[in-house]
Structure 1
Amino acid sequence: MNVSFPIESGRPYATDVDDDGRSQRTGTLLTATAHIITAVIGCGVLSLAWAVAQMGWVAGPIVLLIFSLVTLYASTLQTDCYRNPTTGKRNYTYQEAVRSILGGRKFKFCGLAQYANFVGVSIGYTITASISMAAVKRAICFHREGHEAGCHTHNNQFIMIFGVVQLFISQLPNFHKLSWLSIVAAAMSFGYSFIGIGLAIAKVAGGSKARTSLTGVEIGIDVTQAQKVWNILTAMGNMAFAYAFSMVLIEIQDTLRPNPPENVVMKKACSYGVLITTFFYMLCGVIGYAAFGNDAPGNFLTGFGFFEPFWLVALANIFIAIHLVGAYQVFVQPLFDFVETQCATKWPENKFINVEYPTKLPLYGDYNFSFFRLIWRSSYVILMTVIAMIFPFFNDIVGLIGAFSFWPLTIYFPIEMYIAQGKAGPKYSWSWIFLKLLSYACLVVSLLAIVASVRGIVVGVSNMKPFQSVS
């Protein structure tokens, strides 16, 4: 049963504030769906052809579909955690929901998992955006010099360009100011997904002789038996990462208008978002595998399985870079808000932390400038940029982030909060047993994928010099 509390305080709405006294929320089903698509369709989509190739025609699509169904199911449980079912009080963040429903050590564990994931996403998106920007330069070079030319370029310059862009955008004060950015980013994700799918279809229609099989890459031909196992586990981490948005679900829900009830709108947004992304994921994974076969590159738009038309390949990578500018902010803004709120609470009299200076910016309007925000957020972006230069391993970083965050944030906490609210029935009931078994099964998958991704990073570090990433 969905319970809504449109008015908590018993007073009518002011024209510019909501029932909790905060600035009036203006989010709708459209903007929430856009936020979800922006968060979900990121660099994960680019690795799906490779992931399917590790598992083959049978297991690849089935495992991808299982991840989508599990993510959708868990997200619908999570939407009912935004408001307290008794008092109607809002939980503004994922952590607040865990603290109010589960409390104690679980709240601290949630914070560790959530913010560690935000850091990982920041690094992963910086790496991916730089590779895509480098791919634009390489696409033009291949067109001019021929497909046999190396056209290699260092990624560091593009990592720094992406970092500089984030330095400016990160100064936007809060998550509620990002609806326009998410809509633009979502449009970009549709653009490069369609281009990737179109190029893969053209490659298949043109008589691609890619070698495929029911079980994917072949032992003894493509990989050793041990490599096959490690690659499958990393691929599962990639698939988990492709659906990661639970850690910002509550924050997205907090942007919605209170009428209709937020949980009702958010359930629809989750359904639309996951349905749309799964459709694209299946096309990218399956058609990408058909086009490239067992030799599918880790990133199917920057691995240059496609060379022509060069301008379309370049355009797709431009779309990726623009999309990741917005996606980076969707994930990192909750971390910014957490640190700034904690500092303001701990040092309420500190002017450096709490004083803001009203000013007007061109093309933006009124803006409250904060020295603390400037220094803290800039330091974070610079640190993430430097780390991305040291560990530029696309598939392994993506797999590690997905594996690390999937179980605790997408599965464990939504299920535990659902059970704690009494919605799963009595202990040891069939629904309670089902939820517990689902949680344990996902834990095993996550642990195995973490081990495989860490192994891949260790192997990668041993074979390259830091700050020498080349596309």
Structure 2
Amino acid sequence: MAKDLESKPGKAEEAFMIVGSGADEALDDDGRVKRTGTLLTASAHIITAVIGSGVLSLAWAIAQLGWVVGPTVLLAFSLITWFCSTLLVDCYRSPDPVKGKRNYTYMDVVRANLGGWKFKLCGLSQYVNLLGVTIGYTITMAISMAAVKRSNCFHRNGHDAECRASHNVYMVIYAGIQIVLSQIPNFHKLWWLSIVAAAMSFAYSFIGLGLSIAKIADHPEVRTTLTGVTVGVDVSGSEKVWRTFQALGDIAFAYSYSNVLVEIQDTLKPNPPENQVMKKASFIGVSTTTTFYMLCGILGYAAFGNNAPGNFLTGFGFYDPFWLVDIGNICIAIHLIGAYQVFCQPIYQFIENQVHSYWPDNALLTAEYVISIPFLGKCPLNFFRLVWRTSYVVVTAVVAMIFPFFNDFLGLIGALAFWPLTVYFPVEMYIVQAKVRKYSAVWTWLQVLSVVCLLVSIAAVCGSVQGLMHALRGYKPFKGT
């Protein structure tokens, strides 16, 4: 039986679960291990993927855009993300969205519907974005934990104490945790981690909302404007333009989950049909996160005004109520432990499937050994998986140490990924699958949507690159803060 499993390229993720069972009822219609995902687990995965570090920068983004444009742009991004996700989930099976052949990854979906150079462009866009997100999450976790240490230091030694905390230490700790969790083979084993992470998302969002309301009550004189930061008062004219572009990238990053949507859909059991469940899960996920985003962005801007910090939770300072801010930052750290896994698993699976397809009979690459891990139960261990995934985590941690720029990094990631992954490919695949006639009304409006989003993404990339260049001036890598 082991020989049969090894002969199937790209199926390492199910091999370890099948060995020793010998039960056909444990398999789905495609020969893979029976999927057990539900509306609850899919919604948890989506909320974990969407409500991430992006929520922390929304007060700053609203401050750049103002009371009118800020909430409008936030709502527009949410509607576009939800609409395009409904197009994408119908492409999981092709050519029929209910009874067609499964496509296990985003790249598989694009290959089945578009193929050619678009398939290669998709792979480049998706995996560069996933890499960037995991680096961004490493930066965010370190910032939050360093804030906890500084807060406790001020509380013990007084507000005049010189309290410093190195982000690098926390990045190393975070990387160590991720190395262990990365040995979990796939999404099927991560449902519990996503539920915990989603709960943490709600926790720190509520804490941020509560602190914002308290700050608004204590400091009602904070200056806000209809158009955001004021030229000649807060920023120069050129800086206003660049910040506006960067704010678009930050908001785009806050809705970045299309790059893992197909992989999440592949965890669902086939009844009811996966596309129906994912449409409901997407609606639940996007509507829930938009509600929180609106509250956090608007109340955060009202609390800090045009001087809103890049990370609104650490912007509440390091003093009283220090314990509540600490809890919020700890919740961020716990959430990002799970969110990192949601975004890195597709990269892991892609590389491992490629290796298994090229060397299916190499025991060093394919052999699985079952070990017991406390709290995780029995887990398979594979030598190649151990080395490759550990190397990936180490690389993301090192890059995060070299470029620990929160806002600029998030904006660049969001800008690069939003148009191709969230809009372009879902629109193009829907046109092919639904056989939409060229130059028809539906085709025209879909193309207009795609072009507008492309222009927004280009502007956001320019703003984020300019922000990174500005942040790099005089910066010394690996220097503690």
1:454 aligns with 2:465: yes
Q: In structure 1, what is the Cα distance between the partners aligned to 2:413 and 2:219?
A: 36
Tell me if the contact between 2:39 and 2:278 (Cα under 8 Å) persists in the aligned partners.
yes
Corresponding position of 1:434? 445
One-letter identity of the residue aligned with 1:379 = S
The structure 2 residue matched to 1:312, chosen from 316, 320, 324, is 324
Tell me if the contact between 1:297 and 1:305 (Cα under 8 Å) persists in the aligned partners.
no
SS in 1 for 2:208: helix
After TM superposition, give the deviation of residue 316 of structure 1 in Å: 0.2
Q: In structure 2, what is the Cα distance between the partners aligned to 1:234 and 1:149?
A: 35
The structure 2 residue matched to 1:274, chosen from 283, 286, 296, is 286
Measured at CA, do residues 287 and 317 of structure 1 come closer, stay the same or move farther in structure 2, by a change above 3 Å?
same
TM-score, normalised to structure 2, is 0.93
The structure 1 residue matched to 2:254, chosen from 242, 248, 255, is 242
Q: In structure 2, what is the Cα distance between the partners aligned to 1:443 and 1:137?
A: 41
After TM superposition, give the deviation of residue 149 of structure 1 in Å: 4.6
Tell me if the contact between 1:389 and 1:469 (Cα under 8 Å) persists in the aligned partners.
no
The structure 2 residue matched to 1:82, chosen from 88, 92, 117, is 92
Mapping for residues 3-402 of structure 1, pairs under 5 Å? 14-86=24-96, 88-147=100-159, 149-305=161-317, 307-402=319-414
Cα distance per residue 1:375-408 (max 9 Å; x no partner):
0000010011000000000000000000000000
After TM superposition, give the deviation of residue 145 of structure 1 in Å: 3.7
Cα distance per residue 1:175-196 (max 9 Å; x no partner):
1100000000000000000000
Cα distance per residue 1:54-74 (max 9 Å; x no partner):
011111101100000100000
One-letter identity of the residue aligned with 2:87 = L
SS in 2 for 1:256: coil
Corresponding position of 1:3? none
SS in 1 for 2:101: coil
Tell me if the contact between 1:127 and 1:388 (Cα under 8 Å) persists in the aligned partners.
yes
SS in 1 for 2:194: helix
Structure 2 gap segments, 5+ residues each? 1-22
Q: In structure 2, what is the Cα distance between the partners aligned to 1:307 and 1:115?
A: 40
Tell me if the contact between 2:64 and 2:228 (Cα under 8 Å) persists in the aligned partners.
yes
SS in 2 for 1:187: helix
Tell me if the contact between 1:292 and 1:305 (Cα under 8 Å) persists in the aligned partners.
no
One-letter identity of the residue aligned with 1:217 = V
After TM superposition, give the deviation of residue 304 of structure 1 in Å: 3.3
SS in 2 for 1:303: helix
One-letter identity of the residue aligned with 2:125 = A
Q: In structure 2, what is the Cα distance between the partners aligned to 1:400 and 1:42?
A: 16
SS in 2 for 1:367: strand
SS in 2 for 1:22: coil
SS in 1 for 2:371: strand
Corresponding position of 1:404? 416
TM-score, normalised to structure 1, is 0.95
Tell me if the contact between 2:150 and 2:318 (Cα under 8 Å) persists in the aligned partners.
no
Tell me if the contact between 2:250 and 2:411 (Cα under 8 Å) persists in the aligned partners.
yes
Q: In structure 1, what is the Cα distance between the partners aligned to 2:448 and 2:322?
A: 49
One-letter identity of the residue aligned with 1:320 = I
Q: In structure 2, what is the Cα distance between the partners aligned to 1:264 and 1:75?
A: 12
One-letter identity of the residue aligned with 1:409 = L
**Cα RMSD for the two superposed structures:** 1.3
Moved more, 204-213 or 30-39: 204-213
Q: In structure 2, what is the Cα distance between the partners aligned to 1:359 and 1:190?
A: 34
After TM superposition, give the deviation of residue 352 of structure 1 in Å: 1.6
After TM superposition, give the deviation of residue 173 of structure 1 in Å: 1.0
After TM superposition, give the deviation of residue 368 of structure 1 in Å: 1.8
Q: In structure 2, what is the Cα distance between the partners aligned to 1:306 and 1:66?
A: 35
After TM superposition, give the deviation of residue 143 of structure 1 in Å: 2.4
Q: In structure 1, what is the Cα distance between the partners aligned to 2:229 and 2:157?
A: 32
Q: In structure 1, what is the Cα distance between the partners aligned to 2:440 and 2:456?
A: 25
Measured at CA, do residues 208 and 144 of structure 1 come closer, stay the same or move farther in structure 2, by a change above 3 Å?
farther
Tell me if the contact between 2:154 and 2:318 (Cα under 8 Å) persists in the aligned partners.
no
Tell me if the contact between 1:124 and 1:398 (Cα under 8 Å) persists in the aligned partners.
yes
Q: In structure 1, what is the Cα distance between the partners aligned to 2:43 and 2:244?
A: 31
After TM superposition, give the deviation of residue 259 of structure 1 in Å: 0.5
Structure 1 gap segments, 5+ residues each? 1-12
After TM superposition, give the deviation of residue 150 of structure 1 in Å: 5.0
Q: In structure 2, what is the Cα distance between the partners aligned to 1:311 and 1:179?
A: 30
Cα distance per residue 1:244-276 (max 9 Å; x no partner):
000000000011111011000100000000000
After TM superposition, give the deviation of residue 221 of structure 1 in Å: 1.1
Corresponding position of 2:15? none
Tell me if the contact between 1:358 and 1:369 (Cα under 8 Å) persists in the aligned partners.
yes
One-letter identity of the residue aligned with 2:466 = R
Tell me if the contact between 2:147 and 2:318 (Cα under 8 Å) persists in the aligned partners.
no
Measured at CA, do residues 229 and 150 of structure 1 come closer, stay the same or move farther in structure 2, by a change above 3 Å?
farther
